[in-house]
Each structure stands twice: as structure tokens, then as C-alpha cells.
């Protein structure tokens, strides 16, 4: 067994993440005391990773620590918020030194990258399960919602979705790929980069935004549903990485880009009259986003190719519909 | 399997807890948008309940929902904070309608009692595990810390600790008790009452405060350690309920009061010169707290009886040291 909870928290998590001046009291008391900036709304999200559901049993501890924070950061990016503080609820079967130290290192490296302080935690013994609560800020009234899209708005996505789903398949030995492609795809699953800088900047241009975590087609459908609209995507415009095409071919690559999970990219809509300024201020080549479709009146999310509606067997990853070996 | 995550969140958790004017955006987007009051610090805590660790497998779902919120509210009570918002990360093996509906009812009833809005959630399939993140407020600089106690301060505890540990034993069939006592003790474990009203009021009197969740002796030891002091408790002054004495006798009752877990009472220290005003403004009979000891220079937490130091086999419940059948 080794360390007690008290010592464990102390050893691994007291120095996790950055020091911030707005943390009056961090890890170590019953609760944290935090100073919110004036003129801002608090932005709060919680997300859980469960072994065998969100990552394969035996995943590298550094990746689990990284992803537990990344999936939450991605939720804040989708609101256009800047992260500040995180709280961590970690349930682990045993308190192995090496595992905990790697987990903390993975979490901490990403926290440093985005100026996040770890201000609270709870560790428990049990089946591996990690919940992170993230807190950040957005100027009052400026947060991007899922519900702001209107018919005629153009639909964009950042990055190259589908990579993470292929990376997971490589990680699990279900997919062979050339070495360089395999390395790239695995990294996209194990260490995703939440789009924090893009998210904050999009506040001035986007009418709606959602993070792509459960599959692009399903997630854009949620955005459209929340906006009381539908969406039409162009199959040929869905961006795919070279590595993904190398690994699975063009057709399967686009299918994974539409239905694979764990991308943590941003899908957002922009009114036609704002697209010019968006492209000028945030050049797509530099910021890495692509036009993929348009918001329409008719509900649902459809994919068009050469004038035909394409069918997909499932429109995104549902946590209650699948499991991971 | 039944419901997908999206429908599940919608059905059970969209109406959980109260509606609050300071919630600009609640459950259903990537993150919640919240208005913090001016002049306050944000108070944040996270706590997890794992099946087989924090409650027996097969516990009533309403109790699990209640306790998941209660243990977090108790952390806020210990800071003297007023709760406002909660986020829930729920991992359940299957999405059974009856279980989820009972869980939500248990959570919601307590949320209504303390004016808490559920503003975010994440549901996953996996071994039963519930993390709640609680957010509240305290006037700037007024939060009670563990670290404020000084030698000579008097030590108090609210309620009658030990009841919950006995209630758990009754629940597990490890302890027989007269029917009325058994009912009372079980309720103390299954549906603990966090001391919110007392916590807020104590801000004007207490030098330090901690919530008693892992056993009084261990928790008062943490308070003393954080304050750079020690503490001496009087065995004869440790309050015990009639039901507990009926169930286990006087000696075992006091032992449970000192070392049993899951009480969610408050242990606090008060400078001698403030004790008169405390007793006048918050009469102990009405507010239900007892003087149990004194803060001293020498480190550690000791229990004295008739001039002798008493030995206890363990000084509190450690999540990495025990498990629940």
C-alpha cells in the first residue's frame, strides 16, 4: 500500500501545475480560495476518464494525466475561455510511486503550458478513474455557446479530425501504419493539444462553437440541435492528415474524420459577413482550420458528396454504446 | 444499455438542483457560465465516492446521490462558505432508469435544501464512482482555514461523531442495535447533514476549522499540524449520542466518536477571549456543539483520561488503508 492519502497528495500534487497570484489557498485545506477577475464570468466544466472506456487499460500514465486535463481544457476552448484553476479527483487501484509520478508529470506539463494551477484534489483507491474539474474565465457575455448558429452560417473545423481514433487503433494493435505515421497518430491520441489560443480568438468571429470529442458528425449535430437548425457538411472538404490517409486510405480517413472520437478540435460557425475578417485576422493556413459545410433550416447533420446524401453507420462515439478493450 | 449519454444527462440532470439567477448557462453546453458575486472569494472543492470504499456495494442510490453532494458541502461548511453551484461526474456500470432516478432524487433534495444549482455533468459507463465539484463563496479574506489555531485556543466539535461509523456497521449487518437506535444510526450514515448554517456563522468566532470526515482524532490532528501546533482532547468530553451508547456501550461509543469516519461534523478552535461571545450568540444547546479540548504547543493529537494519555489503534480512516465489503 505504501503512502497514505495525505502524504500522497502532498508528494505528487502540491507542486503540480503553476503558481498563480489569484490562488489565495490551494491544495491542502478543505477547499481552495480563489480570486475571480472583475468583469468576467466563471467558466466551469467537469470531465471523467475511465480505464477501458476512454483509454485502454495499461495506457501510459503520463498520457492519462495529460488527457484528463486536455479534455477539460478543450471544453473551455469551445467557450472561448481562458483556463485558470483545476481540481483533480483521482481513483487508482494502488498508489505505485512510478505510476503516480508519471501521471503527475503528464498533468503538470500541460498545466504549465496553459498557466493552470492545481488547487484541489481528492485521491481514493478503486478502479482507475480520473475526474478533472476546470475553472476559467471569459469576459462577461462573450462566451461562445452551442446555440448561436443560424441558417446560412458557415461551418469550420480546426485541425485534422480522425487522427486520434486511428492513433488509438494503432495503440491497441488493431491498425498497422508506416512508422512515422504511426508515431504521429499515436501521439494525437495519447497527447492531444486543446485549441486554447484559437478558442479565445474565435470569440470575435464565431456564432457558435463546440469541441469535437465524440466524433465530428455527432458533435456538429449537437451544435445544430442546440441552435434549432441543421447542418450540411461536404464530404470532400472534411480535412484529413497525410498520416491518416497513409494509414487507412482516403475513404476510411474521411469516415474516421467524421465519426472517430477523442480529437479535441473545435467546430465553429461563422456568419457569412464575418468570414472575410476571420480569414484575414486568423489566416486558415496558420491557424489550421477548414470550411466544411453550412448551417441550414432542416434539422439533423448530413454529409453530401456529389449531390448525394452519404450514410454513416453511427454519427459519433456514445459513451454508453461502446467500450474499449 | 438503453439511453445514450446525451438523453441520459437531459432526462435526469437538467432539472436537478435549484434554478439560480447567477447561472447564465447551466448543463448542456461544453461548460457552464457563472456570475460570481462582487467582494467574495470563490471556494472550490472536489470529492469522490467509490463503491466498496466510501459506501458498501448495493447502497441505496438516493443515499449515494445525497452523500456525494453532502461530503462536498461539508468541505464548504468548514471554510465558512455558502454553496452555489455543483458539477457532477457520474460513472455507472449501466444506465438503469430506476437507479438513476433515485440517485438524482437524493442529490436534488439536498441541493434544494442548500440552494445549489447543478451546472455541469459528465456521465460515463464504468465501475460506480461519483465525483462532485462544489463551488461557493465567502467574503474576501473571511474563509476559515485549518492553519489558524494557536496554543490555548479551545477545541469544539459539532454534533455527535461516531454515529455514522456505527450506522455503516448496522447497514452491513456487522452490528445489532435496538430498532430505533439502528434506524437513527443508519440515517446518520446514509443521509448525513452537512453543517452549513453553523459553518457560515462560525466565521466570526473560530480561529480554525476542519470538517470531520475521516475520524475526529485524525482530522483534529490535521488541523493542529496545519497550524503548527498540537491538540489535547478530553476523553470524557467527547460527545456521543444516546443511540450510539445504546448500540455499542459507552466506551466503544467514545472510541467510535474519536476514530470513526463519515461524520461530516465541524471541528473548530476558538480563542479563549471569544468563547463567551460564541456561547452567547450561538448557544451550544441550540447549535449542537461541544468543548472537547485545547490547542497546545507540543505537536500531535492526544486524548487524555484521568491524567493518562489514551492509546488508539488508528487515528482516523485512511482511504488507502482500508476498504469496504
Q: What is the pLDDT of residues B103-136, one digit of tens each?
A: 999 999 999 999 999 999 888 888 889 999 999 9
Measured CA to CA, the distance from residue B202 to residue B238 in angstroms comes to: 20
What is the mean predicted confidence (pLDDT) over B28-42? 92
Q: Give contacts of B36 with chain A, Cβ < 8 Å.
A: 36, 42
Q: Which of residues 29-48 of A touch B (CB under 8 A)?
A: 29-36, 38, 41-48
When pLDDT is cut at 50, 70 and 90, the band that residue A5 belongs to is low
Q: What is the pLDDT of residue B53?
A: 83
Q: What is the secondary structure of B14-45 as a DSSP string?
A: TTSB---TTEEE-BTBSSEEE-PPTTEEEEEE
Helices and strands counted in chain A (H then E): 11, 13
Q: Is the pLDDT of residue A324 over 50?
A: no
Q: What is the pLDDT of residue B79?
A: 97
Cβ-based burial of A234 (10 A; exposed 0-12, middle 13-18, buried ≥19): middle
In this structure, what DSSP letter does residue A81 have?
A: P
| Interchain contact B119–A (C-beta under 8 A) | yes
Q: Is the pLDDT of residue B72 over 90?
A: yes
Q: Is B92 within 8 Å of A51 (Cβ atoms)?
A: no
Measured CA to CA, the distance from residue A162 to residue A241 in angstroms comes to: 8
Q: Is the pLDDT of residue B2 over 70?
A: no
Q: Is B163 within 8 Å of A87 (Cβ atoms)?
A: no
Q: In terms of CA atoms, which chain B residue is nearest residue A33? A: B43
Q: What is the pLDDT of residue B3?
A: 47
Q: Give contacts of B42 with chain A, Cβ < 8 Å.
A: 33-36, 42, 135
User: Alpha carbon of B64 to those of B5, B58, B101, B218: distances in Å?
Assistant: 20, 10, 12, 24
Q: Is B34 within 8 Å of B128 (Cβ atoms)?
A: no
When pLDDT is cut at 50, 70 and 90, the band that residue A1 belongs to is very low
Q: What is the pLDDT of residues A70-80, one digit of tens each?
A: 999 999 999 99
Lowest mean pLDDT among A134-138, B21-25, B256-260, B316-320: B316-320
Q: What is the pLDDT of residue B122?
A: 84
Please state whether A306 falls in left (phi above 0), alpha (psi between -120 and 50) or beta. Answer: left
- Give the three-class secondary structure for B155: strand
Lowest mean pLDDT among A182-196, A295-309, B83-97, B282-296: B83-97
Q: What is the pLDDT of residue A313?
A: 63
| Interchain contact B7–A (C-beta under 8 A) | no
Measured CA to CA, the distance from residue A123 to residue B52 in angstroms comes to: 15
- Give the three-class secondary structure for A87: strand
Q: What is the pLDDT of residues B131-183, one digit of tens each?
A: 999 999 999 999 999 999 999 999 999 999 999 999 999 999 999 999 999 99
Q: What is the pLDDT of residue B98?
A: 87
Measured CA to CA, the distance from residue A33 to residue A164 in angstroms comes to: 37
More confident residue, B237 or B123: B237
Chains A, B: CB contacts within 8 A come to 235
Q: Is the pLDDT of residue A95 over 90?
A: no
What sections of A21-88 are H helices per DSSP? 61-79
Average pLDDT value for chain A: 91
- Domains of chain B as residue ranges with CATH: 5-139 (3.30.1330.10), 154-309 (3.90.650.10)
What sections of A91-215 are H helices per DSSP? 97-113, 163-171, 179-190, 196-202
Lowest mean pLDDT among A24-38, B70-84, B86-100: B86-100
In this structure, what DSSP letter does residue B217 have?
A: H
- Show the cell assigned to B226: 496545519
* Among candidates A42, A120, A124 on the partner chain, residue whose Cβ is nearest the Cβ of B36: A42
In this structure, what DSSP letter does residue B142 have?
A: -
Q: Is A114 within 8 Å of A135 (Cβ atoms)?
A: no
Return all residues near B84 (Cβ < 8 A) that are at least 6 apart: B20, B22, B34, B115, B116, B117, B135, B136, B137
- Give the three-class secondary structure for B51: strand
Q: What is the pLDDT of residues A98-140, one digit of tens each?
A: 888 999 999 999 999 999 999 998 888 888 899 999 999 999 9
Task: For chain A, give the number of residues.
Answer: 325
What is the mean predicted confidence (pLDDT) over A225-237? 96
User: Alpha carbon of B53 to those of A123, B49, B187, B257: distances in Å?
Assistant: 12, 7, 18, 20
b/e per residue, B280-310, with b = 16+ CB within 10 A? Answer: eebeeeebbbbbbbbbbeeeebbbeeeeeee
Q: What is the pLDDT of residue A312?
A: 75
Highest mean pLDDT among A237-246, B23-32, B97-106: A237-246
CB contact under 8 Å between B53 and A126, yes or no, is: yes
pTM score: 0.90
**The dihedral formed by the CA atoms of B150, B152, B157 and B163, expressed in degrees to the nearest 10:** 100
| Interchain contact A25–B (C-beta under 8 A) | yes
When pLDDT is cut at 50, 70 and 90, the band that residue A234 belongs to is very high
Per the DSSP assignment, residues forming a β-bridge with B266 are B211
State the DSSP H helix or E strand holding residue A227, giving kind and residue range, or none if neither: none
Going by their DSSP bridges, the two strands A117-125 and A129-139 should be labelled as unpaired
Q: What is the pLDDT of residue A9?
A: 62
Average pLDDT value for chain B: 91
CB contact under 8 Å between B29 and A79, yes or no, is: yes
Cell 460527545, residue? B239
What is the mean predicted confidence (pLDDT) over A158-170? 96
| Interchain contact B190–A (C-beta under 8 A) | no
CB contact under 8 Å between A31 and B211, yes or no, is: no
Q: Give contacts of A69 with chain B, Cβ < 8 Å.
A: none
- Give the three-class secondary structure for B224: helix
Lowest mean pLDDT among A180-189, B54-63, B202-211, B315-324: B315-324
Cβ-based burial of B273 (10 A; exposed 0-12, middle 13-18, buried ≥19): exposed
Q: What is the pLDDT of residue A53?
A: 83
| Interchain contact B126–A (C-beta under 8 A) | yes
Q: Give contacts of A321 with chain B, Cβ < 8 Å.
A: 1, 4
CB contact under 8 Å between B125 and A50, yes or no, is: yes
Q: What is the pLDDT of residues A44-76, one digit of tens each?
A: 999 999 888 888 888 999 999 999 999 999 999
Q: What is the pLDDT of residue B313?
A: 63
- Show the cell assigned to A19: 503558481
| Nearest-neighbour CA in chain B from A149: distance (Å) | 13
Measured CA to CA, the distance from residue A210 to residue B245 in angstroms comes to: 57
What is the mean predicted confidence (pLDDT) over A234-250? 96
- Residue A232: half-sphere exposure toward Cβ, Cα within 13 Å: 12
Q: What is the pLDDT of residues A265-317, one digit of tens each?
A: 999 999 999 999 999 999 999 999 999 999 999 999 999 998 899 877 655 44
Q: Is B46 within 8 Å of A134 (Cβ atoms)?
A: no
Q: Is the pLDDT of residue B56 over 80?
A: yes
- Residue B98: half-sphere exposure toward Cβ, Cα within 13 Å: 1
Amino acid at each position: 500500500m505504501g503512502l497514505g492519502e495525505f502524504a500522497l497528495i502532498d508528494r505528487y500534487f502540491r507542486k503540480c501545475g503553476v503558481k498563480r497570484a489569484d490562488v489565495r489557498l490551494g491544495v491542502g485545506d478543505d477547499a481552495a480560495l480563489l480570486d475571480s477577475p472583475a468583469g468576467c464570468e466563471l467558466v466551469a466544466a467537469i470531465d471523467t476518464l475511465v480505464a477501458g472506456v476512454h483509454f485502454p487499460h495499461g495506457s501510459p500514465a503520463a498520457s492519462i494525466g495529460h488527457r484528463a486535463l486536455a479534455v477539460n481544457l478543450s471544453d473551455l476552448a469551445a467557450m472561448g475561455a481562458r483556463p485558470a484553476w483545476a481540481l483533480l479527483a483521482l481513483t487508482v487501484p494502488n498508489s505505485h510511486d512510478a505510476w503516480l509520478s508519471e501521471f503527475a508529470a503528464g498533468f503538470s506539463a500541460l498545466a504549465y503550458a496553459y498557466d493552470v494551477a492545481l488547487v484541489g484534489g481528492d485521491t481514493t483507491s478503486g478502479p482507475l478513474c480520473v475526474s478533472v474539474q476546470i475553472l476559467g474565465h471569459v469576459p462577461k457575455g462573450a462566451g461562445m455557446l452551442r446555440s448561436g448558429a443560424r441558417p446560412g452560417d458557415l461551418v469550420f473545423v480546426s485541425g485534422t479530425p480522425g487522427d486520434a481514433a486511428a492513433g488509438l487503433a494503432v495503440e491497441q494493435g488493431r491498425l498497422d501504419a508506416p512508422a512515422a505515421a504511426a508515431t504521429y497518430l499515436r501521439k494525437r491520441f495519447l497527447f492531444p493539444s486543446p485549441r486554447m489560443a484559437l478558442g479565445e480568438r474565435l470569440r470575435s468571429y464565431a456564432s457558435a462553437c463546440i469541441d469535437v470529442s465524440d466524433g465530428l458528425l455527432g458533435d456538429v449535430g449537437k451544435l445544430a440541435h442546440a441552435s434549432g437548425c441543421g447542418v450540411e457538411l461536404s464530404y470532400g472538404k472534411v480535412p484529413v492528415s497525410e498520416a491518416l490517409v497513409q494509414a487507412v486510405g482516403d475513404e476510411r480517413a474521411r469516415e474516421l474524420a467524421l465519426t472517430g472520437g477523442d480529437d479535441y478540435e473545435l467546430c465553429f460557425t461563422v456568419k457569412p459577413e464575418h468570414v472575410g475578417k476571420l480569414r484575414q485576422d486568423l489566416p486558415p493556413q496558420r491557424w489550421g482550420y477548414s470550411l466544411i459545410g453550412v448551417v441550414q433550416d432542416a434539422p439533423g447533420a448530413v454529409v453530401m458528396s456529389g449531390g448525394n446524401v452519404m450514410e454513416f453507420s453511427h454519427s459519433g462515439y456514445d459513451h454508453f454504446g461502446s467500450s474499449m478493450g
